[in-house]
Amino acid sequence: MLRLAIKIVRTSKDRALTDTSARIARIIASEISAAPTQVSSAVTLLDGGATVPFVARYRKEATGGLDDTQLRTLADRLSYLRELETRREAITQSIKDQGKMTDALARAITAADTKSTLEDIYLPYKPKRRTKAMIARENGLEPLLRAILDNRNTAPETLAETYVTEAVATSKDALNGARDILVEELSENATLLGNLRDFMRKEAFIGSRVLPDKEQVGSKFSDYFDHREKWATIPSHRALAILRASKEEIVSIDIAPDPETGVARAEGMIALVIGIQGDAPGDQWLRKAASWTWRVKLSLSMYLDLMTELRRRAHEEAISVFSRNLKDLLLAAPAGNKATIGLDPGIRTGVKVAVVEATGKVVDTATIYPFQPKNDLRGAEATLIALMKKHDVDLIAIGNGTASRETERMVGDILKLLPAAIKRPTKVIVSEAGASVYSASELAAAEFPDLDVSLRGAVSIARRLQDPLAELVKIEPKSIGVGQYQHDVDQRRLSQTLEAVVEDAVNAVGVDLNMASAPLLSHVAGLGPSLAQAIVTHRDIHGAFGSRKSLLKVSGLGPKAFEQCAGFLRIRDGEEALDASSVHPEAYGVARRIVDACGRDLRDIMGDEGALKRLRAEDFVDDSFGLPTVRDILSELEKPGRDPRPSFKTASFTDGVEQISDLKSGMLLEGTVTNVAAFGAFVDVGVHQDGLVHISQLADKYVSDPHEVVKAGDVVKVRVTEVDIPRKRIGLSMRKDGGAGAKSASPKPERQNRGKAPARRSGPPAKQASQKPAQADNGALGAALLDAMRRKT
């Protein structure tokens, strides 16, 4: 009997787990536009230790072709929903232990689809500290509240007289106690809380007002000294700017419904729950109690809830912008394996010079002093010409920091002096964001123990021109400088998201096993810092890997890790031709059957699109590998080891335009997109200060998302529309009309909803301000936002 009972309990638990898993799969499937079976298969793989890049690339049959973006969303939501189920079980058990579970309550708990809804339901049953309502109940005042609710025609003061005791001194104290009980019951009413929260999400305004005597110290936040707009539609960059201003104690923030109509509607929703219909003495007292409940309890509760939601929403949007920019930067076009001189410009301290071979190996360094105070231009010319000649240099990478334009002009003059016998390199301005962070890192110290910190920066600049991905993975993503208020958002969430972006970028491109650094290898699926270092150590001791299979000789790298990483690692000119491709070793058999069908040698057939186009993928499907995998193998054989990154292209800065003071309205310039935000794109035009192409100036049509038009690293043509030297603001346009038709191109401009300010918890109400379409307002964006976005680190 005992065994039977245990078996029944286990069966019941297994069934509950299965039902929960199925429910989660259905929810996620609807969110990522997939079938529940696809989600279930992906969950099984991820739970089994598979990585997102591996599942996306090599398990398409199992997941029905879910891509890495869908899988990232799936993994994120899976974590949330599992936490929700764990909390649901805990709450259910707690209420059962209290002996208060009912069928209706159980149904409500089961139906709750968010953590906030679940916590609303649990509020009345949640253990709490001693409250005023508890004291009132102990003093026997709950019957008074019930009497007021049941006898509306009797004056509550009359009813309260019979409840005066030694513990309750007056009838007023009795009524206050009854009100405390009512306030607690209302604040624990899940339906009311849900309705109020929905009402606030739709109707609430967020307002900010400068605190007394903070105008001067907080001038960069001047756009938010008297600001008000709808909570539901405030863009993340404005929300983050207001939150930062509040954190720095420059402004106060309020989130409330419209004081003229919204407050009355909120109080009316509370009155409706109480059941107030007439104007009897009891109704009047209850109506006042409803107003009191809103003012003292629920308005603050709603403020905190919406503030939490706003912060989370703004963080998620900012992190999304950061991740998209980082992906574009990581997947920027590489110049390739070419000998490169890296120049880290400086004036007083000199220009640091590093020469790296095509493989990225440092072969020479120097420091030149062409500017004040030494003005050794001849020495600089002699040094650079000698290095170009000695190392057969193809490229010169110039960091875009201080003195970059002066250095570029100097290099241009030197190139003109080169004799015909010496190859003339191409000069390129390179973003040095994060280079100083890398130079001073433990990683750089370990890589170049005998190299001065300043020279390491020149090495990084040269290498990031050769291969941006391979070099940028050495720098903490947050230091690369393509984020929006990155220091204000949830740092744990930011790090997780950016690590996923780096992992997806690295695996999309693939890694040369015999040349990659440990930091680059650490982002390959299935590997990590320890295994990556083990691979490099093994390579240093035993020499280059001859095949992917030899990876299994690396200490600590077992079959599971090999399965995950092998397809993303490349071996050029190795023992196995397929090791240079993205074909996974587990599918080599299929690849060879395809090659055999062509009747030619494997190395001969790889890259021959004509021969492979004649084959039908369906003919090679078997029990182990389906049509998606076979098609991927055919594509890879047609173009083995293809690089998904675009071809290399550089911007040419205009001669004579080197400082912001050189800019004139109407100038047509070429530049490089350095950052993309929700409100536009920042472009480096070679004057040490990025200009802003506002979203309304990106195209001759309405643009809702700047990423639709540009991405970080793009080379673009822009026209100068505004130059504000004191505030270091540069307005640019990519429109054909030079910005003249911005208003007509923005039929649905985003507006700041200003007007009469909402009631505030501190300070007088905000003044009225005129409405301005934010999309057509190029110069009036908050200085705080611009300053934060322009920072490189």
Question: DSSP labels for 582-609?
Answer: S--GGGHHHHHHHHHHHTS-HHHHTT-H
Query: Please, which pLDDT band fits residue 259 given cuts at 50, 70 and 90?
Result: confident
% the chain with pLDDT above 90: 59
Phi-psi region of 782 (alpha: psi -120 to 50; beta: other; left: phi over 0): beta
Identify the pLDDT of residue 619. Answer: 87
What is residue 511's DSSP assignment?
E
Residues 343-381: tens digit of each pLDDT: 999 988 999 999 999 988 999 999 999 998 899 999 999
What is the second-level CATH architecture of the domain 24-125? Answer: Orthogonal Bundle (1.10)
Identify the pLDDT of residue 734. Answer: 94
Query: Please, which pLDDT band fits residue 668 given cuts at 50, 70 and 90?
Result: very high
Nearest to 321 by CA among 475, 482, 187: 482
Is it the case that residue 157 has pLDDT exceeding 60? yes
Domain 660-742+778-790 class in CATH: mainly beta
What is residue 254's DSSP assignment?
E
Distances (CA, A) of 760 to 208, 255, 261, 772: 9, 8, 15, 23
Report how far residue 593's alpha carbon sits from residue 320's, in angstroms, rounded to the nearest whole number: 43
Identify the pLDDT of residue 753. Answer: 40
Whether 534 and 555 have beta carbons less than 8 Å apart is answered as yes
Is it the case that residue 12 has pLDDT exceeding 60? no
Mean pLDDT of 92-101: 93
Strand 351-356 to 340-344 pairing: antiparallel
The count of other CB atoms within 10 Å of the CB of residue 705 is 12
Mean pLDDT of 278-286: 94
Is it the case that residue 11 has pLDDT exceeding 80? no
Query: Please, which pLDDT band fits residue 477 given cuts at 50, 70 and 90?
Result: confident
Identify the pLDDT of residue 405. Answer: 84
Nearest to 136 by CA among 107, 173, 92: 173
What is the second-level CATH architecture of the domain 141-152+165-324? Answer: Orthogonal Bundle (1.10)
Residues 624-651: tens digit of each pLDDT: 899 999 999 888 888 877 788 888 877 7
The count of other CB atoms within 10 Å of the CB of residue 697 is 29
Is it the case that residue 783 has pLDDT exceeding 60? no
Identify the pLDDT of residue 741. Answer: 55
Between 79-93, 97-111, 401-415, 511-525, the lowest mean confidence (pLDDT) is in: 401-415
Whether 170 and 139 have beta carbons less than 8 Å apart is answered as no
Q: How many CA atoms lie within 13 A of 18 on its CB side?
A: 6
% the chain with pLDDT above 70: 90
Is it the case that residue 588 has pLDDT exceeding 60? yes
Report how far residue 501's alpha carbon sits from residue 503's, in angstroms, rounded to the nearest whole number: 5
Is it the case that residue 513 has pLDDT exceeding 90? yes
Residues 42-75: tens digit of each pLDDT: 999 999 999 999 999 999 999 999 999 999 999 9
CATH superfamily of 340-466: YqgF/RNase H-like domain (3.30.420.140)
Is it the case that residue 759 has pLDDT exceeding 50? no
Mean pLDDT of 684-708: 89
Is it the case that residue 509 has pLDDT exceeding 60? yes
**Domain range list for the chain:** 24-125, 141-152+165-324, 340-466, 660-742+778-790
- For residue 69, what are the contacts with CB-CB under 8 A and spacing of at least 6? none
Identify the pLDDT of residue 16. Answer: 56
Report how far residue 748's alpha carbon sits from residue 775's, in angstroms, rounded to the nearest whole number: 9
Report how far residue 370's alpha carbon sits from residue 631's, in angstroms, rounded to the nearest whole number: 57
Name the burial class of residue 378, with classes exposed (0-12), middle (13-18) and buried (19+) by CB atoms within 10 angstroms of its CB.
exposed
Whether 353 and 365 have beta carbons less than 8 Å apart is answered as yes
Query: Please, which pLDDT band fits residue 690 given cuts at 50, 70 and 90?
Result: confident
Identify the pLDDT of residue 14. Answer: 53
Query: Please, which pLDDT band fits residue 775 given cuts at 50, 70 and 90?
Result: very low
Largest CA distance in the chain: 111
Between 202-211, 253-262, 642-651, the lowest mean confidence (pLDDT) is in: 642-651
Name the burial class of residue 582, with classes exposed (0-12), middle (13-18) and buried (19+) by CB atoms within 10 angstroms of its CB.
buried
Which secondary-structure segment (H or E) carries 731? strand 729-733
Three-class SS state of 61: helix
Phi-psi region of 360 (alpha: psi -120 to 50; beta: other; left: phi over 0): left
Between 145-159, 312-326, 513-527, the lowest mean confidence (pLDDT) is in: 312-326
Report how far residue 438's alpha carbon sits from residue 447's, in angstroms, rounded to the nearest whole number: 11
- DSSP per residue, 427-496: EEEE--TTHHHHHTSHHHHHH-TTS-HHHHHHHHHHHHHH-HHHHHTTS-GGGSS--SSTTTS-HHHHHH
